[in-house]
Structure 1
Amino acid sequence: MFVPKAHNPPLAALLIFVASAFLAATTLLAKALGTDTLGAPLHPMQISHGRFLFAFLVIVSAVGIMRPTLRRPHWGLHIGRTSFGWLGITLMFASVAFIPMADATAISFLNPVFAMVLAIPLLKEGVGPWRWLAAAVALIGAMVLLRPTPASFQPAALLALAAAVVIGMELIFIKKLSGRESPIQILLVNNAMGLTIASVAVSFVFQMPSPAQWAALAGIGALMACAQACFVNGMARADASFVAPISYATLLFAALYDFAIFDVVPDAVSLIGSAIILAGGLILVWREARHRQALSR
């Protein structure tokens, strides 16, 4: 019988933070592949296929080395998680080809807000006033980044917003699975199913990548496998509505990578919007820490 991981919020926060660094790096490579940086731009569905292909190879290798005990999967939850995950990452990869990485990441990382709201009816988690305040602050930051005026509105930002909604639903499935199955089994089944879906989708848009593009696709897969391992283990150790906002650290990594590689300097709107979203996450983390300190007295 599978024994769920012990509740450990500090370790969960650290795991999500590390996952954020890996995840931002995958977005960096996706941007290079979706533009002409490494050759003729690849379709987002082909980038998504590479992500699942190489992540699956990494995870199968890990399973072969670790030889964990695998149990009968909950197919319904896995199908839901994988379907939302494939669609969410494809939308995300599409958005970064057109708008700055920091903006796309900031908007798509509204997913903790949607996950928090969905956790109320689906996971029966309590959401107090501080969590609602954090969600409201983050949403305001996203509206700033959307630049909702005729002169500055970026249509591609809607791709990142759609990714946020879809990935928010994926988080719910991850949380449900984390209490039923081991992280390695969740990753193995998810990537096997994701590879199947992505292989069908890419057949309509496939073009032969250059050697550099193959290397970038492999990098995306390996980094995503590491990010998933950290993320699933983090989600298994704390409430989804607490853990998820820590992934806002990806905003910082995305901006740093974008500046270092593509020489993209965030403008004032990007900085303000990202700062507001980050503030929402920090409010929640601070409140949860105070709450747990009070309970331990």
Structure 2
Amino acid sequence: MNRPIQHNPPLAAIFVLVATTFIAGTTLVAKALGTDALGAPLHPLQVSHGRFLFAFIAISSVAAILHPKLTSPNWGLHIGRTTFGWAGVSLMFAAVAFIPLADATAITFLNPVFAMMLAIPLLGEKVGPWRWGAAVIALIGAMILLRPTPDSFQPAALLALAAAMIMGMELIFIKKLAGRESPLQVLLINNTLGVLIASIAVIPVWQMPSPEQWAALAALGVLMACAQACFVNGMARADASFVAPFSYATLIFATLYDFLGFGAMPDAVTILGAGIILTGAAVLAWREGRLKKINPPVAETIS
């Protein structure tokens, strides 16, 4: 029998912080693959294919060792969740090739805001003034990061915004899946379906990666698998409302990696916009905790 995991908020925070280093690492590797840093740039669909392929290999290897007890899955929810997750990841990888990692990372923190809006028609949820206020704050931050002036507008930022919207739809499916199946089963099925979808989508744009790119694609998948494992362990040891704010450290590490890898320094607009988005997201997380919403494991929200 498996012993229940003890409630341990400090350890949960450590697990989530470690996960954020891995998540930020995936964006750095995706940017290297999508630019000429490692050779001829790979198409975002090929980068996302590598992410799912090598994450599938890593997670299925763990499952083969642990022999988890599997239950009958809800295939409709899994297919919907994975399809939107794959699309969101592909758009995110496309965005980071053209805009700073800090901008792309901050914009994708809008996904719970879009999920909140989508939950009104799709889940019948009621949204009060606090949650609407948090959403408006976050969206103002996004508008700042989009730099909507003729001289500074970044069209590629719209890719990150679309990624956040699609990942918000993914969260709707995750809410429906929450509590139905074990985290390892959800991750295994997610990555199995993901590699199937990605393998079909990559066919028209496939090009033979260089040895360095193969290594980077493998690192991308393993980093994502490690991030998912850390989030699973973190969420098992503390309430989601306590753990969620620690995930915002992803922005710090993404900024640091972008500086170390590409010499990119965040400007005042990035700092202002990111700060406003994180403020809105933090208020939303606090309100969700006050309302005692049933939150799915954060690990399951990572595509």
When normalised by structure 1's length, the TM-score is 0.86
Post-superposition Cα deviations, 1:26-75, rounded to whole Å, max 9, x if no partner, equal: 01000000001111100000000000000000001110111100111100
> Which residue is equivalent to 1:129?
129
Alignment of 1:188-267 (within 5 A): 188-231=188-231, 247-267=247-267
> Which residue is equivalent to 2:78?
78
Structure 2: stretches of 5+ with no match in the other structure: 293-303
Residue 159, structure 1, aligned to residue 125, structure 2: no
Q: CA deviation at 1:244?
A: 5.8
* SS, match of residue 140 in structure 1: helix
Alignment of 1:34-45 (within 5 A): 34-45=34-45
Asked if the contact 1:7/1:237 (under 8 Å) is kept, the reply is: yes
Post-superposition Cα deviations, 1:86-107, rounded to whole Å, max 9, x if no partner, equal: 0000000000111111111111
Output the CA distance in 2 between the equivalents of 1:6 and 1:114: 33
Residue 171, structure 1, aligned to residue 195, structure 2: no
More off after superposition, 55-64 vs 104-113: 104-113
Q: CA deviation at 1:179?
A: 1.1
Shift of the 108–76 alpha-carbon distance from structure 1 to 2, 3 Å rule, reads same
Asked if the contact 1:183/1:233 (under 8 Å) is kept, the reply is: no
> Which residue is equivalent to 1:32?
32
Q: CA deviation at 1:119?
A: 3.6
Which amino acid is the alignment partner of residue 104 of structure 2?
A: A
Q: CA deviation at 1:194?
A: 0.5
Which amino acid is the alignment partner of residue 272 of structure 1?
A: L
Asked if the contact 2:9/2:238 (under 8 Å) is kept, the reply is: yes
RMSD: 2.9
Shift of the 177–291 alpha-carbon distance from structure 1 to 2, 3 Å rule, reads closer
More off after superposition, 37-46 vs 107-116: 107-116
Structure 1: stretches of 5+ with no match in the other structure: 293-297
Shift of the 180–67 alpha-carbon distance from structure 1 to 2, 3 Å rule, reads same
Output the CA distance in 1 between the equivalents of 2:127 and 2:9: 17
When normalised by structure 2's length, the TM-score is 0.85
Shift of the 79–241 alpha-carbon distance from structure 1 to 2, 3 Å rule, reads farther
* SS, match of residue 205 in structure 2: coil
Output the CA distance in 1 between the equivalents of 2:178 and 2:273: 32
- Identity across matched positions, percent: 72
Which amino acid is the alignment partner of residue 63 of structure 2?
A: V
Shift of the 192–229 alpha-carbon distance from structure 1 to 2, 3 Å rule, reads same
